[in-house]
Chains A and B, each alone.
Chain A
Amino acid sequence: MVVVVVGSIWDPLTRFLERGQTLLPVLLAVAVVLAVGLLLAWLVDALLRALLRLVGFDRIAQRPGVSDSLRRSGLRQRPSVLVGHMFRWLIVIATLLAGLSIVSAEATNVVLTAMVTYTPRLAAGLLLLVVGYAVSVFVGRSVLIWSVNAQVHGARWLAGGVRLLVGVFFAALALENLGFGRDIALVVLAILLGGGVLAAALAYGLAGKDLARQSLERMTREARGEEGETLSHL
């Protein structure tokens, strides 16, 4: 009885240890590759940033307006930092693939094939998100400046709403491009647009009817040049 029990435990244990003996070096190799790869990614990022700063990359990149465009669109990182980050993430991805290839060459092939076929769409999606972010910041700021200068109440809310709408629109485009969540994105956009416009119209027309009347009267007076002030600024 004891022999049977010991045998029934011992056999799976032996098989596990045998499998472990085979797997352990593989896992160790994966860990080493990941550690070296991540360290390399961090080192390359730091070195590249230092090198680019040394050669005055930020200044060079400022000339054709690259840095200006980034800053204007709200990305406040220096160009050298952005390049460093980009290379770091490329090395991280390569490291993960290398680690995967140690575990299973077949799985790596599948992932690589999927990446090759999916990369253009992913890149286009990412580009749409980046462009969408820049456009939403620009449009939001334009609305804010216009509404504050026109002394519209709740200018920040208005600008934030417009920025959100533009952002959601581009996110919907990106998701559509990637091929998933299309319906959700469209529904969210429709709710925001339709619901938002309706809510704003009701709020302005009912709750703020006096404000609406005053605003319209002021706009009419301004259009006719009838404002009491005759200050000549020039």
Chain B
Amino acid sequence: MSRATILHAPVLEKLQAIGGADLVVGIPSFNNARTIGHVVHAVTAGLAKYFPDHRAVLVNSDGGSTDGTPDVVGAAELGSARAILVTQAPRRVHRVITAYQGLPGKGSAFRTVFEIAQRLQARACAVVDSDLRSITPEWLQLLIGPVLEEGFDYVCPLYSRHKFDGTITNSIVYPLVRALYGRRIRQPIGGDFGFSGRLAGHYLAHDVWASDVARFGIDIWMTTTALKGDFKVCQAYLGAKIHDAKDPGAHLSTMLVQVTGSLFAQIEAHEARWRDVQGSEAVPEFGFRYEVGLEPVPVDVGRMVHAFDQGVQDFAPIYAGFLDDGTRTELARLTGQPVARFHMPEELWVRTVCSYALAYHLRSLNTDHLLRSLTPLYLGRTASWVNEAADYGAEQVEQALDSLCGTFERLKPQLVTAWQEGRIRSWSS
């Protein structure tokens, strides 16, 4: 192949020696020496148990770890026949351990995996995080199986999570993706995905590797790009996801900027795809659902409500630039509520999120300022959710989220109109 490559020469030589592969599993890493050994065990065991007749390659795409992560991958024992209860010795899994090139981030790590998959002409691929503590061999079957055996192109993960966990996903990402793209993908930024070799090639063809996609926006980019390209999408239930804390020092507002910024950028790029979509439909689901015992999550609602009150008061001049009068008045009315009874109406939150998407599109404010100013409102919504869902079981949680998504879908036509008119307008119920 003569085209430009991001792979190092030794990797190219190794790929030439391997020749081809049916399956490629990528593990992006950066200083994950403590946990990556377990992930490698689970992956190789899963490949041996569920895909014993397929040629498989495990790729560790590393961001320059200084704690010996690649060494751990190289030294990790492959899943033993005893551990996975098979009598036949598992087929050898090739390991490619390489430092990725490009901007530091998960996206650049994935790009290396995509290119290796394309060069080996893999039929199915999976990527799993290197800090997972709850990964089992079954995850491989669930992420790769639908691609190999059912002809799907993209498999999203579905995890059991505590009702107070994943609040950015639950209150912003899932409802917006569902309302705009019309597909009910419960965890669009789950982090562990399965995809076809064809889709890997499609990803590789995009010129996004010098943008935020390469740094932190790869998860939502993969999901929305698959939806935009009308690839066959499904989701697989993987059980609980337990992993190391991402970055305890990372501030919430930075996280919000990264997630909402990546999502809004995709929404803006895919306007033609979502503009005329009405309602939403479920995507096929694989895996056997079961109850999972989840650790309780302590939440300081008082701190959140205080942050909301201060934000609504102090950010009033900023909000005046892109929130309509009705929304601002309702937000102001919520300030000063007793913590235990604090409640942000569903529709008010939906109007707020849609206004932010619109303001991002209209460049009403410096993007970083705009997205950071969402922090107090998001904390208000989260506090409201914690109060509301205090006694909810898993089923009630999903019903409440369905209701929220329904409101997003109901207000979508107003968002489309405002988007096309290019101006902020009042929302009607």
**Contacts from A to B (Cβ < 8 Å):** 65, 68, 71-72, 138, 141-142, 144-146, 148-149, 151, 155-156, 222-223, 225, 228-234
Q: Which among A68, A141, A151 is the interface contact of B306 at CB below 8 angstroms?
A: A151
Q: Which of A142, A222, A223, A233 contacts B166 (CB 8 A)?
A: A233
Residues of B within 8 A of A68 (CB): 363
- Residues from chain A with Cβ under 8 Å of B249 in the complex: 222-223, 225
Provide the main secondary structure of the chain A interface: helix
- Within B369-420, the residues touching A (CB, 8 Å) are 369, 372-373, 375-376, 382
Residues of B within 8 A of A72 (CB): 363, 365-366
| Contact A225 to B299, CB < 8 A, known contacts A232-B166, A234-B169 | no
Please name all residues of chain A whose beta carbon is closer than 8 Å to the beta carbon of B310 when the two chains form the complex: 148, 151, 155
Taking the complex as formed, is B340 at the interface, i.e. its CB lies under 8 A from any CB of chain A? no
Check B169–A151 contact: CB distance below 8 A: no
Distance (whole angstroms) from the CB of B340 to the closest CB of chain A: 17
Interface presence of B89 (CB below 8 A): no
Question: Which residues of A are found within 8 Å of B136, using beta-carbon distances?
Answer: none
Q: Are B376 and A148 in contact (CB under 8 A)?
A: yes
Q: Which residue of B lies closest to A144 (CB)?
A: B314
Residue contact B311 to A148, C-beta cutoff 8 Å:
yes
Question: When chains A and B are docked, how far (Å) is the Cα of A228 from the Cα of B297?
Answer: 10
In this complex, the member of A71, A148, A155, A228 whose beta carbon has the largest number of chain B beta carbons within 10 angstroms is A148
Contact across chains for B369 and A234 when beta carbons are under 8 A apart: no
Complex Cα distance A141/B315, Å?
9
Residue of A65, A72, A141, A234 with highest tally of chain B CB at under 10 A: A234
Q: Are B259 and A228 in contact (CB under 8 A)?
A: no
Nearest-Cβ distance from residue A218 to partner chain B, whole angstroms: 10
| Chain B residues with CB under 8 A of A233 | 166-168, 252, 255-256, 382
Query: In the docked arrangement, what's the CA distance between A77 and B105, Å?
Result: 40
Chain B residues near A141 (CB-CB < 8 A)? 318, 366, 369
* Chain B 260-303 interface 0/1 with A at a Cβ cutoff of 8 Å (1 = within): 00000000000000000000000000000000000001111001
By a CB distance below 8 angstroms, the chain B residues around A142 are: 369
B314 with A156: CB separation less than 8 A: yes
Q: Is A225 a contact partner of B245 (Cβ separation < 8 A)?
A: yes
User: Is the beta-carbon distance between A225 and B248 smaller than 8 angstroms?
Assistant: yes
In whole angstroms, how far apart are the Cα atoms of A228 and B301 in the complex? 12
Chain B residue contacts of A151, Cβ below 8 A: 303, 306-307, 310
- Smallest CB-CB A-B distances: 5 pairs: A225-B248, A68-B363, A233-B168, A149-B253, A232-B165
Can you report 12 A-B residue pairs in the complex whose CB atoms are below 8 A from each other? A71-B321, A71-B363, A141-B366, A145-B372, A148-B376, A149-B253, A151-B303, A228-B298, A229-B298, A231-B165, A232-B165, A232-B166
Chain B residue numbers with a CB within 8 Å of A225 are: 245, 248-249
In the bound complex, what is the Cα–Cα distance between A149 and B318 (angstroms)?
14
Is B426 part of the binding interface, using a Cβ–Cβ cutoff of 8 Å?
no
Identify which of A138, A142, A145, A229 gathers the most chain B CB atoms within 10 Å of its CB: A145
Tell me which residues across on chain A come within 8 A of B248, comparing CB atoms.
225
Nearest residue, chain A, Cβ from B254: A149
Q: From the candidates A65, A149, A155, A230, name the one contacting B372 in the complex (CB within 8 A).
A: A149
Given contacts A138-B366, A229-B299, contact A234 B314 (CB under 8 A): no
| Given A141-B318, A148-B311, A234-B259: A228 touches B251 (CB 8 Å cut-off) | no
Known: A229-B298, A232-B166. Contact between A155 and B314, CB under 8 A?
A: yes
Residues of B326-372 contacting chain A, CB below 8 A: 363-366, 369, 372
- Distance, CA A104 to CA B99, complexed state (A): 79
Shortest CB distance A73–B (Å): 9
Q: What's the nearest-Cβ distance from chain B to residue A138, in Å?
A: 7
Residue of A nearest to B318 (CB): A141
CB atoms of A230 and B297 under 8 A apart: yes
Please judge, given known A-B contacts A230-B297, A231-B164, whether A145 and B306 are in contact too, CB under 8 Å: no
Min C-beta distance of A134 to chain B, whole Å: 11
A231 pairs with B299, CB closer than 8 A: yes
Separation of A230 and B256 alpha carbons in the complex (Å)? 17
User: Given A231-B297, A231-B299, A233-B255, A148 and B314 touching (CB < 8 A)?
Assistant: yes
Which residues in window 145-192 of B have CB below 8 A to A? 164-169, 189
Distance, CA A68 to CA B375, complexed state (A): 23
**Least distance between A30 CB and chain B CB atoms (Å):** 46
B3 interface hit (Cβ, 8 Å): no
A228 to B304, CA, bound (A): 13
Is B206 engaged at the interface, CB distance under 8 Å to the other chain?
no
CA distance A149 to B251 in the complex (A): 9
Give B236-260 interface residues, CB cut-off 8 Å to A.
245-246, 248-249, 251-253, 255-256, 259
Chain A residues whose CB sits within 8 angstroms of the CB of B321 once the complex forms:
71
Q: How far is the CA of A71 from the CA of B365 in the complex (A)?
A: 7
A138, B368: Cα distance in complex, Å: 11
